[in-house]
Structure 1
Amino acid sequence: MAARGYQNNDLRRQVGSPKAKGRVDHKDTLCRNILIYGHCRYENTGCTFNHDQNKGSTNASNISNSNSTTANNAASEMSKKAFNVESPSFTPSNISKKPTFSSQALSAAPFTPRGNTSGSSTSTPIQHNGDHSSFVSNPAAVPEFTPQNYGLSSTATTTPTGQDATLNYDAFAMSAVGQALPTAPYNPYADDHNAAAVAAAAAMGAANPAFFQQNAFATHTQPLMHHLYFPAGPHKEDLTPYQRTSHDFFVSERLRQDLQKKSEAALQVINTGLPQLDNFHSLVALDTTNRKNANTFGYPSWVYKAVDGKTGFIRCLRRLEGFRLSNEHAIRSVKEWRRIDCGSVVSVFDAFTTRAFGDSSIVFVQEYFPLSKTLMELHFPNQAAAPGTRYKQQTLIPENTLWAYITQIATALKTIHAANLAARCVDLSKIICTDKNRIRLGACAILDVAQFEARRPVQDLQQEDLLQFGRVILSLASLTPPALLTNATAAMEHLGRNYSVELRDTVLWLLTPQQQQPKNIDEFVRGIATHFVTSFDQALHESDSLRSELSTSLESDRIARLLMKLAIVNERPDFNGDTEWSENGDRYTLKLFRDYVFHQVDANGHPIVDLGHMISCMNKLDAGTDERVCLTSRDEQTVFVVTYRTLREQLRSLFAEISRAAKGRGGL
C-alpha cells in the first residue's frame, strides 16, 4: 500500500504502532491504524506490522492453526491490548451431553398459539436428529402469535391445563380491561350520544362493533359550558361616549355565571332511588358526607332538595331520622314560625311525619337556596368534612365581613325575639351563606318540635341565643372551630390582637352574662347602630347594581319575544291551505325586514355581523318609531320604504291571526 503523507498540523489523533517484540513475529498481524484510520503514518518509518489488508485476511486462518504454545503466548500478550485483532473466532464444540428435563415436562401439553388465523392450523414439526447441533430454526414455519378473544364483549371459554388450571381468569380476555379504556370523546352538544358511539365505530373501521357499543355515552354530571361564552375583554380606551361593546347589552359575566350555576343546581335531578314524600318528588341529597351527626338536634338529620308537586317550587327538606311524634301540639308549633318574615331567616313552611325511609321520621319544609354553604364549610372546610381534625386557617377573616355577619344575625334574632320565639340554632353548621357575605339562619323551629316535652322558658332560650351568637363570632375571629374552642380567654386575646377594640367589646358583651337584668337584642342593636348604617349603605349599592342588570335583562326579554314572533310569521310553508302565504302582502315586508336586520352583506358579498345594528333595529321595532327604513329584495327588483311603526302593526296583526288559528285547533 502506498504511503500517505500528512502535515504535522493534522488535528486528528494518531495512535502509534506498538513496538515489536523479539519473540513474536508481527509481519502477518494487521496494523491497528489500518483498522481504525485506514492508513498508518509509520508504515515507512519502522512499523513492523502488516499494512496489506488482503494479506492479513488470507493469513488469518494460518494464525488459528498455529501450535498451542505459540497461540497461548500470543493470546496472553494480546489480551493486554485495547483492541485484539488476533483473537481466535469462537467455534462451539459439539455438545456431547444432552440437557435433561423434569418428568413433569413430558406430560405438558404442546404450546399452540391461540386464535391463529393466518396460515394453516397445523404447525410444522421440528426435526431433531439426536444432536442439538443439527437443530435448524425455521422462522417462516412458526405461525404468528395472535391472542385469542381480543374482542371486549367476548368472554374466555377455554379451559386451562397444568399450572394455568389454578387461574380463574384468562390472561387474554379484555372484558375487564375494556371498562377502563377511554371511549370516543364525549360531545356535550350531541343529541343522541349512542348514535355518536356507533358513528365513531364506523369511522374507526372497527372489526368488532361491540367494542364501541360497550358503556354507551351516559349523561355527564358536569357543569354547564360556561366557558363557551366569550368573556369580557379589557377596557377599551379608544371608545367614544356613544359607542358600546357587545357585553354592554347583556347581563354581566359574573352575574350570568352565578345565576346559571344556581339554576343548574336547582334543576338538577339525580336518580338516587329516594322515595316520594307526600307531595314532594325528585329528592336529591344535599349532605356532603354520609356520616350521621346527632349533636345539634339529638337525632341524625339529613337535608334534601325536592320539588313541591302542588306549587312547582323547589324546597329544602330537613329530615330527623328515628323521631317519633308523641304530642300533636309539638308539630303545630311550626305555624308560629310561618309568621316570621325576615331576610336573614330561612322561611319554614310546613312539617310532617313519614315512614317512606323505612323508619319514623319528621320532615321540615324550608326555603331552598341553591349552592349555599354553611359557615362551617366556608371557613373551616377540613373540620366540616372530618370533625376532630386539627385545622388552622392562615388568612384572617376581614373585620368588615365579621361586622356584616354580626348585623345580619342581629337582625334575625331581633325579628325572632320580637315574635316571642327563640332561634336555638345559632351555630356555624346551621348558618348558611347564600351569596358573598350574605347569610341566613337555618334550621329554625326544629328544636321547638324535637324538644317539645322538655320546654324551657322563652327568656332563657333567648339568653342562650345571645351566648351562642358570641361563640360563633369568637370562633370566626380566632380561627378556632367550635369543637376546639375550649379556652375562651386565649381566643379573646387572639381577637384583641388582630381586630379593633369595638369588636372585642361586642363579643365580650355577648359572652358575659349580666347579674342585674337579662340582656336583650334591642340593647345590642343600639350598641352597633353605626355598623348597621354601613351594612344598609352596602345593601343599597347592591340593589342599584342588580336593578341596572335587571334593566339589561328586561331589554333582552323584549328582543326575545320579537324574535319569536318574527320566526313564527316568516317563511311559514303553509297557512290555511295557501302555500304562498308568507310571500305576499305584509308577510313579504317582514321577510325583507328580517333580511335587512340579520342578512346584511358588504360590497363584496361578505356577511356583516353588527350586533349593535341588530339590537338597535329590534328596539326600534319594539318601540314602533316613525323612522323610515328602506327594504330591498334579494334580487334588488323590489324596494319598500316603511316605518317601524308600520312594521310593528303588521307583526302584531299577523301574529294575532296565527294565534287565532292555533286557538281554534287547540294548539295555543
Structure 2
Amino acid sequence: MFNHDANKQQTSQQSPVPSRPETPKKLKIDSPMFQPASPLKSTASLARDAPVFVPKTQQSSMVALAPEFKPGQDFIGGADSATSFAASSVPAPEFTQQMSQMSMDPSQVYSAPPDNMNPYANPSASMYYQPSMQPYQPLQYHLYAAQPPHRSDLLPYQRTIHGFFLSDNIREELQRKSAATLQTIGDLNLPRSVHVYHSLVPLDTKREKDTRVFGYPSWVYKAFSGTTGKTYALRRIEGFRLVKEQAIGLIEQWRRVTNASIVTVHEAFTTKAFGDNSIVFAYDFHPLSTTLYDTHFGPSPRYVAKYEGQAAVPEKVIWSYITQITSALRTIHAAGLAARCIDPTKILMTSKMRIRLNCLGIVDVLAYDTGGTLEEWQQDDLLQLGRLIVSIACGSPLAANDFPSAVDFISRHYSVELKDIIVYLISKPSPTKTISEIVTLIADHTIQDFNSALHFNDNIEAALARELENGRIARLLTKLGFINERPEYDHDPQWSETGDRYLIKLFRDYVFHQVDEQGNPVVDMAHVLSCLNKLDVGSDEKVMLVSRDEQSCLVLSYREIKSCIEVAFSQLSKKR
C-alpha cells in the first residue's frame, strides 16, 4: 500500500420510468396458434448444377479438392443443433491412437488424440465457439495473486496494489478469449484454405447431421482471413447448389444491418473445396460463446430448479432475453427484412446475460423464390420469439407444443405481464401485431435492462481506468529500456554511461535494484509503482541517487529526472 493522489468523483442520475402501456385485454389463451409452413419445404427440389459463385470484391484462392470432412464419423461432433429440437448428450468415442502415431496420409481416416488433447470429444463441453486445444502448456491463471480482503481503513489518497490492475475475473476471461481466438488444430482432414480463409478449425460439438433448421446439414468452422487478418466463423451448408445468383445477393442487405444483438454477416460464397457443392457464410467470431440451447437445455444447464415443479430461470433473465431479441428484430424489420431463424440453437450467448441472433440471412438464400411475403415472415418472427420464451420459461424445448399446459405453468410461476406478452406473441397474426407494438408493451423492462447495461458499463469503465496507470508505466519502462545499458549510439560506446543518461541509470538502480540490510533484493511492487507514477507526473519531490561504488551521491527531483529521460529519448528518436 502506498500513497497516490487520486481524485474520484461519482455522479448518479436516475432515469424516469414511464408508465407501462396496457396489455391487450381481449387475448385468450385458447386463441388459435399461427403455424406457418416451413420456408424450406420445397428448396431441395430447386437444387440444380450451377457454376461456383465467388464474390467479385475479393480474389478467390481455391485449392485442390479435399476428401469430404465428416465429423460424425471421424473427428468431432457435427451439427450444433439438436435433432427434433431435443438434443441429447452423445458420449465421446474412445480414442486409442496417440498423436505421435497418427498417419499423415490424408486418404486415411483421421484418428483423434486422447480426450485431454481434444476438447471436441468431451461431451460435457457444451461450448459452441469452443477453443481448440493443443498439447502445450496452458496459461497458469492460478499463479496470479488473489484479490485481498477489502480494507475500510484506507485514506482517500491511498490505494492497494490490486487497485492498479484489472480484476482477476475480467483478466482471465479476456485471456481465455484471446487464447481461444488464436488456437488452431493441425493435421485435420480439412481444406488448407477456402476462398480467402485459411487455418480452419471445426467448432461443432455434436456429431449428428441436423437438417431441421435449414433443411441441409450445416457445419461451423473458425478461420482466419488472408485479406484482413481477422478471425471469422464460417457456416457451411453442405450439399447446396446455388440456383440463382440473385439469392446470394441478399447478403449485401444483411451486411448493412447493424445491431448489438446480432452476429454480423460479412459475405457468402459457394465452394467445392470440401469435396461437394457447399455454400459458406462468413460471420463475426465470438470466442467461448455457447448457444442458448446449451445454456438452458444442454447436459449442464446454467439454471436448475431447486425443487421439482418450480421454475428454474429467473424472470429478470427472461425479460432480458425478450428485450435484446426485440431490439434485434426492430432493427431487422425496419430494414425491410425478417430474421426467420429465431431458434435456441442459432442464438449465441457471448457473455453473461448477453445474447445475439446468429445465422441471419441463410434462410433467405436457401429459400429464395419459395413463396411467402415479408409481412408473413415478420409475423413468423414474433411467433418464433413467443415459442422460444415459452421453452425457456418452462425448461423444455418442446413446451410450446402443449401451449395450454405451458401457459398454466407460466401463470403459476411468473408474473401476469410475462404471461400476457407470451400469449400476445403466439396469438393469431393481425395488422396491429408488429414489433413496434411489442417494444411498447415491454417499455418498463427495457428501461430496467438499459439501467443494468449502464451499471455494467460503469464497471467496465472503472476497470479500464485502472489500466490507464499501466499504460503510462509501460511507456516509461519502454523509454528506460531504450536508454539504459545501450551498447552504442552515434559511434559512442559510452553514450548510456555519461551525462544525463548516467543519472537515468542511477534512477533505474534506485527503483529496481535496491537491497535490504542483509543484501537481499527488495522486490516491492508498491515502491516501483510509486516511483514511476511520480516520475510520470514530474513531481518536485527529491530523491537521493547513489552510485554503485557508493562514491557519488546525487539529490534530484522527479521533474529533473523526467527531463533527462525526455532529452535522451528525443535523441534516439530524432530523424537523421
* TM-score tier (shorter): 0.7 to 0.9
Aligned: 1:510 with 2:425: yes
1:463-482 map, 5 Å: 463-482=379-398
Partner Cα distance (1:257, 1:393) in 2:
37
2:485 pairs with 1:566: no
Counterparts in 2 of 1:485 and 1:589: CA distance versus 1, 3 Å: same
Give the structure 2 partner of residue 224 of structure 1.
139
Match of 2:38 in 1: none
In 1: Cα distance, 2:154 partner to 2:282 partner: 52
User: What is the distance in 2 between the residues matched to 1:383 and 1:454?
Assistant: 39
Give 1:462's match in structure 2, choosing from 359, 364, 378.
Answer: 378
1:330 shift after superposition: 0.5
1:406 and 2:322 are equivalent in the alignment = yes
Instruction: Find the residue that maps to 2:345 and give its secondary structure.
Output: coil
Partner Cα separation in structure 2 for residue 659 and residue 291 of structure 1: 60
Does the residue aligned with 2:406 lie in a helix, a strand or coil?
helix
Q: Does 1:330 align with 2:244?
A: no
Matched with 2:275 is 358
Name the SS for the 2:158 alignment partner.
Answer: coil
Shift of residue 361 of structure 1? 0.9
CA distance in 2, matches of 1:317, 1:655: 47
Structure 1 residue runs without a partner (length 5+): 1-176, 181-217, 385-391
TM-score after normalising by structure 1: 0.63
In the alignment, what sits opposite 1:542?
456
Which residue in 2 is equivalent to 1:654? 568
Q: Assess if the C-alpha contact under 8 Å between 2:236 and 2:281 holds in 1.
A: yes
Q: What pairs with 1:431-442 in structure 2 (closer than 5 Å)?
A: 431-442=347-358
SS of residue matched to 1:486: helix
1:415-474 Cα deviation digits (max 9, x unpaired): 101111000111100111011111010100111101112142100000000000000000
Q: Distance in 1 between matches of 2:432 and 2:443?
A: 20
SS in 1 for 2:142: helix
Q: Tell me whether 241-250 or 413-422 shows the greater mean CA deviation.
A: 241-250
* Contact 1:571 1:582 (C-alpha < 8 Å) held by counterparts: yes
Report matched runs for 1:310-349 at 5 Å. 310-349=227-266
- Computing the radius of gyration over CA atoms, which structure comes out larger, 1 or 2? 1
Q: Find 1:260's aligned residue among 162, 175, 190.
A: 175
* Mapping 1:140-151, distance limit 5 Å: none
2:559 to 621, 633, 645: 645
| Contact 1:383/1:481 (8 A) holds in 2 | no
Q: Give the number of equivalent residue pairs.
A: 441
Contact persistence 1:393–1:479 (CA under 8 A): no
Deviations along 1:317-349, one digit per CA (max 9) or x if unpaired, are 111111111111001111111111110111111
Give 1:240 shift: 4.0
How far, CA to CA, are the matches of 2:250 and 2:168 in structure 1? 44
1:101-120 to structure 2, matched below 5 A, reads none
Q: Distance in 1 between matches of 2:363 and 2:156?
A: 59
- Aligned-residue identity in percent: 49
Cα displacement string for residues 253-277 of structure 1 (whole angstroms, at most 9, x for unaligned residues): 1111111111111111211343211
Aligned equivalents of 1:281 and 1:643: distance in 2?
A: 55
Query: How far did 1:630 drift?
Result: 2.2
| 2:369 maps to amino acid | E
Is contact 2:248–2:268 with CA below 8 Å preserved after alignment? yes
Q: Select the residue among 128, 142, 162 that pairs with 1:247.
A: 162
Identify which of 508, 520, 523 aligns with 1:606: 520
Q: CA deviation at 1:564?
A: 1.9
Deviation at 1:178, TM superposition (A): 13
TM-score between both structures, scaled by the size of structure 2: 0.72
Q: CA deviation at 1:485?
A: 4.2
d(CA) in 2 for partners of 1:323, 1:587: 68
1:495 alignment partner AA: I
Partner of residue 498, structure 1 = 413
| Alignment correspondent of 1:447 | 363
Note the C-alpha offset of 1:653: 3.1
C-alpha separation in 1, matches of 2:558 and 2:184: 45
In the alignment, structure 1 residue 283 sits paired with structure 2 residue 203? no
One-letter code aligned to 1:288: T
1:270 and 1:393 mapped to 2: Cα distance?
A: 44
The answer to whether the 8 A contact 2:337-2:374 is kept is yes
2: CA distance, partners of 1:297 / 1:318: 12
- Once residues 256 and 288 of structure 2 are traced to their aligned partners in structure 1, the CA distance between those partners, rounded to angstroms, is 26
CA 1:362/1:383 → structure 2, altered by over 3 Å: closer, same or farther?
Answer: farther
One-letter identity of the residue aligned with 1:440:
R
- Alpha-carbon distance between aligned partners in 2 of 1:499 and 1:286, rounded to the nearest angstrom: 36
| Structure 2 letter corresponding to 1:250 | F
Q: How far apart, CA to CA, are the structure 1 residues paired with 2:212 and 2:562?
A: 65
Alpha carbon RMSD of aligned pairs, Å? 2.5
Q: Secondary structure at the match of 1:353?
A: strand
- Please give the per-residue CA displacement for 1:558-581, whole angstroms capped at 9, x wherever unaligned: 211211221221112333443323
Write the mapping of 1:107-186 to structure 2, written as runs, cut at 5 A: none
Residues 247 and 368 in structure 2, CA contact (< 8 A), matched pair in contact too = yes
Q: Equivalent residue for 2:289?
A: 372
1:33-52 aligned at under 5 Å gives the runs none
Q: Distance in 1 between matches of 2:559 and 2:206?
A: 60
CA distance in 2, matches of 1:395, 1:503: 13
Please state whether the residue corresponding to 1:414 is helix, strand or coil: helix
Summarize the Cα distance change of 1:323–1:612 in structure 2 as closer, same or farther, 3 Å threshold: same
Residue 401 of structure 2, aligned match among 467, 486, 505: 486
Separation in 2 of the partners of 1:358 and 1:381?
32
Q: Aligned AA for 1:227?
A: H
Report which structure shows greater RCO (CA 8 Å, sep ≥6): 2
Q: Which amino acid aligns with 1:303?
A: V
